[in-house]
Amino acid sequence: MTEPIVENNKFIYTLSGKVLPERAVVNLPQQVLMVASNEGTMPLGWQLTISIINSQIAARLSSTQEVTDVEDMRERVEGAIRFCVDSLGYILACGYDVELTQVTLIQPEPMQHIVFGVDVQGIRPKQQYTHQEVLDLFQKTVAVPRHKQQPLRRALVDFREAIRSYEDTPFFCFRAIEDIRQLFVTDQDNDVKRTWEKMSASLNVPIESIEYVWKKLRPIATQLRHGGSVDATSRADRLEMLKITWSIIDLFILASIPASD
């Protein structure tokens, strides 16, 4: 008989979720143990155990200190689980996705249970929309003129991935803006800086947003694009990147831009 494991860490959290699509049956060949650094608000030396059976995710996080930002924990744990699932997807040539749905603090008592939302708080200008407001915004988005549809579709795809994958938020945010910039590239003018200026003028993008994208977001995204390593993005920086990207996409949807010849 093996000796019971003595738990030295004071705080124990369990997280659960599932691997998508739901019709897939995904099993990790073994449990995975990770010992992580103190990135973001996470305490030093937190440990994570991951198990996936029949596409159901069970994760256990232990730490000597309390996790003060549950959303930060969610994003970093989800990133670790994505790495495991992406590894399996590579081996099997399958496209999987990951969704964490809830976390429970089981030690110390009393138990705390949190169900995660699906949005990122603080991006859109209003937290609550009426049905009519959603309908109006939806109709404006899907009814953009034909010449704006392809760049908008690509921008929305990249913005979705910016929300879903916190580790790659800078890369996908910048690419979403670049998707829009492509509408302003012509055979006669493909200069990057000039077409950025043309885009910002046509969309009336605030100068501080352009400066943020060009001076802060672009260097990080370029490094990630070329396979380089960058420091982990803080939650505050991630939120700012998403807010600015959202606002530029919104300006693009609303702007009247003539089709090129």
Render pLDDT for 34-76 as a digit per residue (tens, 0 to 9).
Answer: 887 666 677 777 899 999 999 999 999 998 888 888 888 888 8
Q: What are the C-alpha distances in Å from 227 to residues 3, 136, 177, 184, 230?
A: 44, 40, 20, 27, 10
Strand order in the sheet with 47-53: 32-35, 47-53, 56-63, 11-20, 97-107, 112-115
Higher local confidence (pLDDT), 31 or 188: 31
Which of 87, 115, 143 corresponds to the end of one domain?
115
User: Please, which pLDDT band fits residue 246 given cuts at 50, 70 and 90?
Assistant: very high
The predicted pLDDT at position 39 comes to: 67
Q: Within a domain: residue 141? A: yes
Instruction: Tell me, yes or no, whether 136 and 82 share the same domain.
Output: no
Same domain, 92 and 206: no
Asked if 45 and 64 touch (Cβ cutoff 8 Å), the reply is: yes
Check whether residue 33 and residue 107 sit in a common domain: yes
Global pTM?
A: 0.80
- Please count the other Cβ atoms lying within 10 Å of the Cβ belonging to residue 255: 15
Instruction: Look at the chain and report how many structural domains it folds into.
Output: 2
Domain-embedded: residue 259: no
CA–CA dist 150, 157 (Å, integer): 11
Task: Say which range, 35-39, 137-141, 203-207, 230-234, has the weakest mean pLDDT.
Answer: 35-39
Average pLDDT of the chain to the nearest whole number: 87
Amino acid at 171: F
Same domain, 174 and 92: no
Tell me: pLDDT of 84 over 90: yes
**How far is Cα 48 from Cα 32, in angstroms, rounded to an integer?**
8
**In which domain, by residue range, is 191 found?**
131-254
Q: Is residue 260 part of a domain?
A: no
* Predicted local distance difference test score (pLDDT) of residue 94: 93
Going by the DSSP 8-state scheme, the letter that residue 108 receives in this structure is S
